[in-house]
Amino acid sequence: MKLTAQPQLVEVFSKTGLLPYMNLLGIAELLFVSLFLWSRTLRIGLILLTGYFGGAMAIELSQHIFFIVPAAILVFVWSAALLRDNSFFSVRNKTQKTIAAL
């Protein structure tokens, strides 16, 4: 929606002073989502999306704008990552065996 310049987004981006970067941020968001959807780059996509939407929440909090939308997107992204590959969130047994062997 950032690439189509929806009126609601133009208003929010104007308030935050990021209107000149709206298209660039839209392209970055599409790139990060595509990395997240491709299974070989799931982890880097998750990290980039977390940083992207975490930054969006920080900007919205600093401008006193309602920040629940990026937070909800992050909950969805992390839930999807957990469902797709739960090994990303588990403790590795190799480290525990190495410590136990000492």
Q: Model confidence over 20-77: pLDDT tens digits?
A: 998 999 999 999 999 999 989 999 999 999 999 999 999 988 988 888 989 999 999 9
Q: Is 2 helix (H, G, I), strand (E, B) or coil?
A: coil
The CA-to-CA distance between both ends of the chain, in Å, stands at 55
The residues spanned by each domain of the chain are 7-101
Residue 53: which residues within 8 A CB-CB, separation 6 or more? Answer: 70, 71, 73, 74, 77
Instruction: Report d(CA 58, CA 69) in Å as an integer.
Output: 12
Q: What is the pTM of this model?
A: 0.79
Residue owning tokens 């980039």: 48
Instruction: Report d(CA 102, CA 49) in Å as an integer.
Output: 39
